[in-house]
Amino acid sequence: MRTYVLVAVIAAVVTYLTTPLARWCALRWGAITAVRDRDVHAIPTPRLGGMAMFAGLLVALLMGSRLPFLEPVYANPRPIFGIVGGAALVCALGVADDIWDLDWLTKLMGQVLAAGFLAWQGVLLYQLPIGGVLSGSSRTAVFVTVVSVVVAMNAVNFVDGLDGLAAGVLAIGGTAFFVYAYLLTVSTRDDYSNLATLVVGVMVGVCVGFLPYNLYPARIFMGDSGSMLLGFVMAAAAIVVTGQIDYLAVVERVRFPAFVPILLPIAVLVLPLLDMGLAIVRRLLRGKSPFHPDRLHLHHRLLALGHSHRRAVAIMYVWTAVLAFGVAALAVLSTTTVLVATGVGVVVATVLTLGPLRGRTPTSVEALP
């Protein structure tokens, strides 16, 4: 555990120290988010935060290769090369979008390329905790892997609409995933080093290191270079756990529920996935492109209910913590205990969400300043 924490701290420190450089680059290159109708920030804000995040990821993984405890993880370099190489492609794509505002088809093609590179390096979702090994040829595994990674990248990108929201949600959900992956490794293997635990720990460190600059009022946005990077890394770690763990051993040796490895990544990304799903359906029903921007995201709706910027972000943090830690708790607690505790958490989160409705009329989303 101490080794993972050390690597996460390295990721946080490097990200924190390089974020001012990323901000300087954004100002110099014109990568600045103007105040648009759909935005909630009041002044133009530089982006390119993903550059600092990628620096934290890269340095942390390089330093991790020098630690004896993690030697088994680096014994097969292909998966790590796939994650780092794919992350580099995603970050470069995001930087280009942050500067030149690429069209959606170009971004989608770049995302598919990065996900395909990850799959080419052997990070494949070739079995599921429910249903066993994927049927069909290896093409099926590649297809499912690419789709999963692309969906995760776009989900995080969709939810990145308030200062500190995406980084905080991924930090909280990633911590729950980290705890679960670590407990799973300890319970099913004699060697505690594990690629998924390492990658998720680094991702959490990157988010923590970036948050001081990104909390309201943000001095820099992560931009597409950061949101797509976080989605890519989260998806890669989830694929390692859900696609390559011996889930039969999990059930037989420690009696973990078999559905947890596939449910936990969904719980971590439940808000981004829900926001993206609702946005796609909403826009298609209106006859518009799924990528057409609007002011009807979940965070916009929270603001319309009367929440302040900080409170809206905090509420989404609470929902993420309740759902992600609720699923991760199945690793150590009985199902009944987890259901009761999660139910209480859901009630608390609901009260916090709907609290402003007492004694006031909600503001329409379109009327937000």
Compute the Cα dihedral for 246, 67, 202, 49 and give only its sign: negative
Q: What is the pLDDT of residue 331?
A: 76
Q: What tokens were used for 135?
A: 């049927």
SS (H, E, C) the chain: CHHHHHHHHHHHHHHHHHHHHHHHHHHHHCCEECCCCCCCCCCCEECCHHHHHHHHHHHHHHHHCCCHHHHHHHCCHHHHHHHHHHHHHHHHHHHHHHHHCCCHHHHHHHHHHHHHHHHHCCCCCCEECCCEECCCCHHHHHHHHHHHHHHHHHHHHHHCCCCCHHHHHHHHHHHHHHHHHHHHHHHHCCCCCCHHHHHHHHHHHHHHHHHHHHCCCCCCCCHHHHHHHHHHHHHHHHHHHHHHCCHHHHHHHHCCCCCHHHHHHHHHCHHHHHHHHHHHHHHHHCCCCCCCCCCCCHHHHHHHCCCCHHHHHHHHHHHHHHHHHHHHHHHCCCHHHHHHHHHHHHHHHHHHHHHHHCCCCCCCHHHCC
Angle in degrees, 0-180, between the axes of helices 49-64 and 223-244, rounded to the nearest 10: 40
Q: For the chain, give the mean pLDDT.
A: 85
pLDDT digits (tens, 9 = 90+) for 164-197: 999 999 999 999 999 888 887 776 555 567 898 9
The answer to whether the CB of 271 falls within 8 A of the CB of 301 is no
Query: Is the pLDDT assigned to residue 119 strictly greater than 90?
Result: yes
Average pLDDT over residues 123-147: 69
The CA–CA distances, whole Å, from 213 to 80, 111, 295, 317, 323 equal: 28, 27, 24, 18, 26
Tally Cβ neighbours within 10 Å of residue 350.
14
Query: Is the pLDDT assigned to residue 239 strictly greater than 80?
Result: yes
Measure the CA–CA gap between 244 and 259, rounded to whole angstroms. Answer: 14
Name the pLDDT band for 357 (thresholds 50, 70, 90).
Answer: low
Residue 308 phi, psi (nearest 5): -75, 170
Tally Cβ neighbours within 10 Å of residue 360.
9
Q: What is the pLDDT of residue 93?
A: 97
Query: Is the pLDDT assigned to residue 136 strictly greater than 80?
Result: no
Average pLDDT over residues 97-120: 94
The CA–CA distances, whole Å, from 13 to 55, 65, 126, 206, 310 equal: 10, 18, 35, 8, 24
The larger pLDDT score, comparing residue 244 to residue 57, is at 57
Query: Is the pLDDT assigned to residue 130 strictly greater than 50?
Result: no
The CA–CA distances, whole Å, from 42 to 22, 82, 162, 309, 318 equal: 21, 39, 12, 12, 26
Q: What is the pLDDT of residue 132?
A: 47
pLDDT digits (tens, 9 = 90+) for 255-298: 455 556 667 778 888 888 888 888 888 888 888 877 777 777 78
Query: Is the pLDDT assigned to residue 250 strictly greater than 70?
Result: no
pLDDT above 70 covers what percent of the chain?
82
Average pLDDT over residues 67-79: 92
What are the residue boundaries of the structural domains of the chain, listed by start? 2-295
Query: Is the pLDDT assigned to residue 37 strictly greater than 70?
Result: no
The larger pLDDT score, comparing residue 37 to residue 125, is at 125
pLDDT digits (tens, 9 = 90+) for 306-316: 888 899 999 99
The larger pLDDT score, comparing residue 68 to residue 43, is at 68
Radius of gyration of the chain from its Cα atoms, rounded to whole angstroms? 20
Name the pLDDT band for 343 (thresholds 50, 70, 90).
Answer: very high
Nearest Cα neighbor of 268 from 164, 179, 202 is 179
Measure the CA–CA gap between 118 and 131, rounded to whole angstroms. Answer: 23
Q: Is the peptide bond before 217 cis (omega within 30 degrees of 0)?
A: yes
pTM above 0.85, yes or no: yes
